[in-house]
Amino acid sequence: MNLAKKILTAIVMILLVFVANAQIDTISKEKIKEKEKFHSPKTATLLAIIPGAGQAYNRKYWKMPIVYATMGTCIYFSISNQQQFKRFKNAYMARDNGEHDEFYGILSKEALMNNMDRNRKIRDYTLAGAVLLYALQIVDANVDAHLFYFDVGDNLSANFYPQTFNSIYTRTPILGVGCTLNF
């Protein structure tokens, strides 16, 4: 009898553990579903530190190649102009030291300086463009996250039409534009 009670108690305990575990599992699945429903703009902004990750978080996968292409283009031209700048600078320095350079007889010393300045300016502009595009993709990810649940249904519309207004001062009609928003 004593052994039967111990076996029965053990079976009941094992069943209670399985039931309790099933309850915990159900609760954790519900929490995961709640987290999936919540779309955080803060998370999108933090992920946007990595270019394109904020767009992926917002499920705007088509924007990722645009982000990489624009930033890659700016970086490519920055590197290219930096190399050209170094080329003209080395030629200018060689000419200052009285040596022959690759542009000897082709470009004057002033032309070397002008090319150096032009390539430096273009390099700086393209780096500034890369920084601006980087900031723009962060802002884009944040705005998309804020508008993630915004309803863009068929019942949204804007109608523009010509309209006349009466002037307060001259009491003559003035032509204008009216707008009706339906949402």
Rounded to two decimals, the pTM is: 0.61
Confidence label for 91 from pLDDT (cuts 50, 70 and 90): very high
166: in domain: no
Q: What is the mean pLDDT of the chain?
A: 82
Task: Quick: pLDDT tens for 138-168.
Answer: 999 999 888 888 776 777 778 888 888 887 8
Question: Number of folded domains in the chain?
Answer: 1
- Taking every pair of Cα atoms in the chain, the longest distance, rounded to a whole number of angstroms, is 112
Per-residue pLDDT band for 84 (boundaries 50, 70, 90) equals very high
Task: Tell me if 108 is assigned to some domain.
Answer: yes
Taking phi over 0 as left and psi of -120 to 50 as alpha, with beta for the rest, 59 belongs to: left
Q: Note whether residue 165 is domain-resident.
A: no
**34-48: per-residue pLDDT in tens?**
555 677 888 888 888
Q: Closest Cα to residue 102, out of 79, 86, 81?
A: 86
Domain span at 115: 2-146
